[in-house]
Amino acid sequence: MSKAGSKKSSKAAKRPTANGIPILPRQGSLQGASEFYDFACKVMLIGDSGVGKTCVLVRFKDGAFLSGSFISTVGIDFRNKVVNVDGAKVKLQIWDTAGQERFRSVTHAYYRDAHALLLLYDVTNKTSFDNIRAWLSEIHEYAQQDVVIMLLGNKADMQAERVVKREEGEKLARDFGIAFMETSAKTGLNVELAFMAVAKDLKSRKTRKPNDPKFSVTEYVDQEKQNQGCCS
């Protein structure tokens, strides 16, 4: 895991840019010979600016929370993390996109290769929730048909400022047939679960025999939330 981090920093200096926006190869480093894994998949974090995409990624990758002043992502970047799924090593290449409108044309180009999309809104920001339908339209336009989509209502720790009820997120996800959970990059609530569900789905796709039952991310997430005894 630390290997992936050091690799990233050495690459950063050479990155090409277009109008100041970092441009990364869409194939990334999934074929990196020095990293050992059984399966690899690309996960993209998308959603309005400020919903917490970078913080969710940092929480998952480093187990830390980026508090303090908000530094908006410019363009797109990725971090790698290898997770263990039932004895198999699954490499998640996680793409953190800029939520700001002006970077949309850059990020659209990356949807096509994504196995999974984590679509975030902020439970304290109604506009970010109202924009989810528009994000889903973009997904249908640019992503693969069988892409795994997970809706995440982030900043669930901010109960006093909450303006979007958990039930509203659940209903929207149900209407679109996608998995849902509330998360907090601050406390770590459900962050690991979101990425593990994606990794499990990928492993299942790669190893499933024709007569095996299909893995359902939605069912898996619902079951795991029940096991935790809480979800927000």
When asked if residue 21 is in the footprint of ligand GTP (CB under 6 A), the reply is: no
By CB under 6 A, name the one of 53, 81, 115, 162 that touches ligand GTP.
53
With a CB cutoff of 8 Å and minimum separation 6, the contacts of 79 are 4, 5, 8, 57, 61, 93, 94, 96
Selected range binding ligand GTP among 34-42, 69-77, 141-149, 211-219, rule: CB under 6 A: 69-77
Q: How far apart are CA 94 and CA 26, in angstroms?
A: 12
With a CB cutoff of 8 Å and minimum separation 6, the contacts of 212 are none
When asked if residue 54 is in the footprint of Mg ion (CB under 5 A), the reply is: yes
**Of 48, 55, 228, 62, the residue nearest 158 (C-alpha):** 55
Selected range binding ligand GTP among 44-52, 135-143, 169-177, 196-204, rule: CB under 6 A: 44-52
Taking residues 170 to 199 in sequence order and writing x for each that binds ligand GTP by CB under 6 A, - otherwise, the string is --------------xxx-------------
Q: Could you say which residues in the range 79-118 bind ligand GTP, by CB under 6 A?
A: 98-100
The sign of the CA dihedral 190, 79, 206, 153 is positive
Residues found near ligand GTP in the complex (CB under 6 A): 49-55, 66-67, 70, 72-73, 98-100, 154-155, 157-158, 184-186
